[in-house]
Amino acid sequence: MSAPRLEIDLGKIEHNARALVGRLSARGIAVTGVTKATLGSPEIAQAMLRGGVVRLADSRIENIEALRRAGVSASMTLIRSPMLSQVDRVVAHADVSFNTELDVLGRLSSVAMQAGKSHGVVLMVELGDLREGILPADLEHFVSEALCLPNIALKGIGTNLACRSGVVPGRENMAELSALADSIDATYGLELEIVSGGNSANLGWGFGSTKMGRINDLRLGEALLLGCDPLTRQPIEGLDTDAITLTAEVIEAKLKPSLPWGEIGQFAFGEPPPVADRGPVWQTILALGRQDVDPEGLRPPTGLTVLGASSDHLIVDHRPLRLPVGGEVSFQLNYSALLRAMTSPFVIKVVVGGSRAAPIAATLDDRSVPSNCPDPRVGPPAA
């Protein structure tokens, strides 16, 4: 099988979705499945839907369009504020969009009116993470303006935390969002359909809190795909953390000094990291580079150390054994690595169906591997 490749077990993603939907529905919270890290994969979207997510969401209209072309009919939300240059496409293909600018709302209204459609909007509120959002003091004005726009349906409000500044979703900021929803309903005689509390980083709050307030939706991507809590990168109990693996092929294996020689300057991506003298090492090169993946986001198997990466090469040490040229090494990934690998045209995507117990294709190692985030599989090395 060709490499590098992502091997995607749809059964495990479906299992993760079903497990999270079940736990959160008991607390009155629905799950929106976020497909942005999958490049709009219809197979992965359908696995999420089979697991019970109520709608799909993506940050790129191009991915939503791809899902529509593939025949996915579920409700879809654009979760990045629409670009003015793409408003026509947003109205045509997204049922709902997240918004923070009145100019954009005005254009959405005009286009929707011309198309004879109603377009749903969720107003995003800034609660401290300093990414997108309307300041709470300005929200009432935005609501009043949105309610006056023809062919615009105000679906709800939402917020996003932990993505830019690492602000943790918790009791206080979720209570503030709930209070804002209550105030809007009371002021305008509404009953907001969606109060979206955030993303996979909200799960610690969602599982631990006894008071959900008005929060009735979470947008989950990383937890469905990788089974990990973004705040801690630790496994979430009951979820599969090996639904997606990245496999690369060995193209060189040589015994080399561990220290470079000659005058040292910057390397292709900035200042080189410090290197310790460990004597001669079996330096192995994999056909995988920064153009394909975020090397800092790879989770190497036990015994393998990532030494560095260039555009097209990943250099690893697997002491004391030598990995054979033509052999393969499989890694698990964090969200950053997954995002880049999924969008690289040089990384093949292999989808595996079946139940959550079905083996992933081309796994080379039959040793028992604990189900946790940092422990992937690797083919047996040759001496």
pLDDT on residue 319: 74
Give CA–CA dist 258/280, Å, rounded.
6
CA distances from 241 to 14, 48, 208, 371 (A): 12, 15, 21, 6
| CB neighbourhood size of 221 (10 A) | 25
For Cα atoms 94, 99, 102, give the angle at the middle one, nearest 5 degrees.
Answer: 120
| Chain center to CA of 205 | 19
pLDDT on residue 142: 98
Task: Find the helix or strand (DSSP H, E) in which 218 lies.
Answer: strand 217-220
pLDDT means per 10 residues, the chain with 383 residues, are 96 98 97 97 98 98 98 98 98 98 98 98 98 98 98 98 96 97 98 98 92 95 97 96 97 91 83 80 94 96 92 90 92 96 96 55 30 36 36
pLDDT on residue 354: 57
Of 76, 198, 77, the residue nearest 131 (C-alpha): 198
Q: Is the peptide bond before 4 cis (omega within 30 degrees of 0)?
A: yes
For 336, phi and psi rounded to 5 degrees?
-65, -45
Structural domain 10-230, CATH architecture:
Alpha-Beta Barrel (3.20)
Q: Which residues are catalytic?
A: 36
pLDDT on residue 382: 38
Give CA–CA dist 73/82, Å, rounded.
21
pLDDT on residue 19: 98
- DSSP, res 291: T
pLDDT on residue 322: 84
Its pTM stands at 0.89
255-282 pLDDT, tens digit each? 898 888 988 888 778 777 778 888 888 8
Are 280 and 255 contacting, i.e. CB atoms less than 8 angstroms apart? Answer: yes
Are 158 and 127 contacting, i.e. CB atoms less than 8 angstroms apart? Answer: no
Give 11's contacts (C-beta < 8 A, 6+ positions apart): 47, 352, 353, 354, 355, 356, 357, 358
The domains of the chain are located at 10-230, 244-352
Which residues in 161-313 belong to E strands, given as ranges?
194-196, 217-220, 228-229, 234-235, 244-256, 281-286, 298-299, 305-309
